[in-house]
């Protein structure tokens, strides 16, 4: 399996990552990628960048070191209504957007019903392309409903390599990821592999994600970022609702 674009990475702008955009692009080139999504944390994450950072992303060249850059964000899901921490007007101007649950930012109930409702609602957003790390057991979710709504709305579900690492602070991630992949295979729903890299050496590291895919014999045709063009064709942002 070859992945041509890493869809989930962070730069210095996120506040707890360690490289510049140029350094990340150079590392992606060294690793043989064709594309890289830079998805710094949106404004409610403690320590991240100001909203001006996202408003000014138009000045960043979309080609560096032979790598096509998609400049976007990892949004914070704020509540069970599926509200996020950047406006629709601003999201429309970005190239890609992930929406994820993070404890400093999510203010809803962490019950299976409410978390599932939050995911279902955020997937209705025409500028949310990917659900980030839905494997975190601290945010329990009904995988059957999650996958069904992802397929219905054209939202990609992420297999997050960082989550699956033995050093991850998230809970029951491998078990939950396998459950999600089984359900995606059953419903023929698309996934995407993201490194969630916070340092350039982790770009395109899919060691644990690959193991999860192999365990369930997951078909390559349901992995969106095996090709840069395939990934772009799957993004809601490319459909410009």
Mean pLDDT (whole number) for 63-77: 98
Average pLDDT of every residue of the chain: 97
DSSP tag of 155: P
Q: Which two tokens stand for residue 171?
A: 């809970």
Dihedral sign computed on CA atoms, order 145, 85, 101, 215: positive
Burial of 4 (0-12, 13-18, 19+ CB in 10 A): middle
- Tell me how far CA of residue 208 lies from CA of 2, 147, 187, in angstroms: 15, 21, 23
Q: What angle do CA 194, 200, 202 make, to 5 degrees?
A: 45
Residue 138, pLDDT score:
97
Report the alpha-carbon distance of residue 164 to residue 152 in Å, rounded: 26
Bridge partners of 160, per DSSP, are 194
Report the alpha-carbon distance of residue 210 to residue 225 in Å, rounded: 13
- Tell me how far CA of residue 92 lies from CA of 42, 72, 115, 157, 217, in angstroms: 14, 10, 25, 20, 36
CATH architecture under which domain 5-239 falls: Alpha-Beta Barrel (3.20)
pLDDT tens digits, residue range 199-234? 999 999 999 999 999 999 999 999 999 999 999 999
DSSP tag of 223: B
Residue 240, pLDDT score:
56
Map residue 14 onto helix, strand or coil.
helix
- Predicted confidence (pLDDT) at residue 42 exceeds the cutoff of 90: yes
Report the alpha-carbon distance of residue 174 to residue 171 in Å, rounded: 9
pLDDT confidence bin for 239, thresholds 50/70/90: confident
pLDDT tens digits, residue range 10-27? 999 999 999 999 999 999
DSSP tag of 108: S
DSSP string, 152-166: HHTPEEEEEHHHHST
pLDDT tens digits, residue range 88-140? 999 999 999 999 999 999 999 999 999 999 999 999 999 999 999 999 999 99
Report the alpha-carbon distance of residue 101 to residue 34 in Å, rounded: 28
Q: Tell me if 68 sits within 8 A of 29, measured CB to CB.
A: no
H helices then E strands: how many in the chain?
10, 8
Residue 1, pLDDT score:
77
- Domain layout of the chain by residue ranges: 5-239
What is the value of pTM for the model shown? 0.97
- Predicted confidence (pLDDT) at residue 65 exceeds the cutoff of 90: yes
């Amino acid at each position: 399996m070859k992945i041509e674009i890493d869809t989930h990475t962070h730069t210095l702008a996120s506040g707890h990552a360690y490289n510049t955009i140029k350094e990340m692009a150079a590392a992606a080139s060294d690793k043989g990628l064709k594309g890289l999504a830079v998805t710094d944390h949106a404004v409610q994450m403690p320590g991240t960048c100001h909203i001006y950072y996202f408003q000014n992303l138009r000045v960043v060249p979309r080609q560096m070191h032979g790598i096509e850059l998609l400049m976007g964000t990892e949004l914070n899901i704020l509540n069970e209504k599926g509200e996020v921490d950047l406006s629709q007007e601003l999201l429309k101007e970005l190239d890609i957007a992930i929406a994820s649950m993070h404890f400093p930012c999510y203010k809803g109930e962490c019950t299976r019903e409410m978390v599932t409702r939050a995911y279902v609602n955020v997937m209705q957003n025409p500028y949310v392309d990917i659900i980030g790390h839905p494997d975190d057991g601290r945010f329990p979710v009904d995988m059957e409903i999650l996958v069904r709504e992802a397929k219905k709305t054209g939202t990609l579900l992420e297999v997050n390599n960082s989550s699956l690492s033995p050093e991850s602070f998230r809970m029951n991630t491998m078990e939950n990821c396998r459950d999600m992949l089984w359900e995606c295979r059953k419903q023929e729903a698309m996934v995407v592999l993201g490194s969630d890299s916070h340092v350039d050496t982790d770009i395109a590291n899919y060691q644990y994600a690959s193991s999860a895919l192999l365990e369930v014999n997951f078909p390559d045709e349901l992995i969106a970022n095996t090709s840069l063009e395939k990934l772009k064709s799957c993004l809601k942002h490319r459909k410009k609702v």
